[in-house]
Amino acid sequence: MQFPVHREPYVSGGFFRFMEERMKRREQRECIFQLLFRLEFNGQEEMPEQTELFVEDMKEAHNPGERDEAYILEKYKKVVERLPEIDPMLEKASEGWKLSRMGKVELTVLRLAVYEMKYDEDIPEKVAINEAVELSRKFGGDEAPGFVNGVLAKFTKKQET
């Protein structure tokens, strides 16, 4: 799927120029999700090559600017680094669902959302949940949005108090 390119004009020296093209946050999140999803099918040793292939595909599909590409890759790395902390939290919150039994889409969406809720101070909790439900609606099965929403509800600050 091709996404529109976003450009913001500005005037410089009497000429209109375009600032670096920026992807919308939702597009960035989808790219992060897709990169994390590859982790489910490839071992850590294969991920550097997979990441290169993904970046090539992303450049064709989204035409990201350097800042977008750096943001996507950096956030992907941060999520992967936190997986040893995130996965036990998901096991506990999903009550009766082992991570190995979850659909790979749902698991990947949940990992990204929990990272955003717990470790990314720039993303409000409600936004992380809403975006996770949207990702699960787009990439998962019919039951995915309800499942993701139900698990993430257990991570909200209201539930933890």
The DSSP code for 99 is: G
Q: Is 4 a domain residue?
A: no
End-to-end CA distance of the chain: 42
Q: Is 2 a domain residue?
A: no
Element containing residue 140 per DSSP (H, E):
none
Q: Give the pLDDT score at 44.
A: 81
Q: Give the pLDDT score at 42.
A: 87
Residue 111 has pLDDT above 60, yes or no: yes
Q: Give the pLDDT score at 108.
A: 98
- Better-scored residue on pLDDT, 161 or 152: 152
Q: Is 80 a domain residue?
A: yes
Q: Is 15 a domain residue?
A: yes
Q: Is 1 a domain residue?
A: no
Q: Is 161 a domain residue?
A: no
CA distances from 9 to 66, 68, 84, 126 (A): 18, 18, 43, 32
Q: Give the pLDDT score at 6.
A: 44
Residue 8 has pLDDT above 60, yes or no: no
What average pLDDT does the structure give for the chain? 86
- Could you tell me the CATH number of the domain that includes residue 16? 1.10.940.10
Q: Is 28 a domain residue?
A: yes
Residue 28, SS3?
A: helix
Q: What angle do CA 158, 28, 83 make, to 5 degrees?
A: 55
Looking at residue 137, its amino acid is R
Q: Give the pLDDT score at 45.
A: 86
Q: Give the pLDDT score at 67.
A: 94
Q: Give the pLDDT score at 14.
A: 45
Q: Is 64 a domain residue?
A: yes
Beta strands (DSSP E) in the chain are: 9-12, 15-18
**By residue range, what is the domain housing residue 111?**
9-156
Residue 37 and residue 31: Cα distance in Å, rounded? Answer: 10
Q: Give the pLDDT score at 74.
A: 97
30-55 tens-digit pLDDT: 999 999 999 989 888 899 999 999 99
Chain CA centroid to CA 139, Å: 12
60-88 tens-digit pLDDT: 988 889 999 999 999 999 999 999 999 99
Confidence of residue 159 (pLDDT cuts 50, 70, 90): low
Name the percent of the chain lying above pLDDT 90: 71
If one counts the domains in the chain, the total is 1
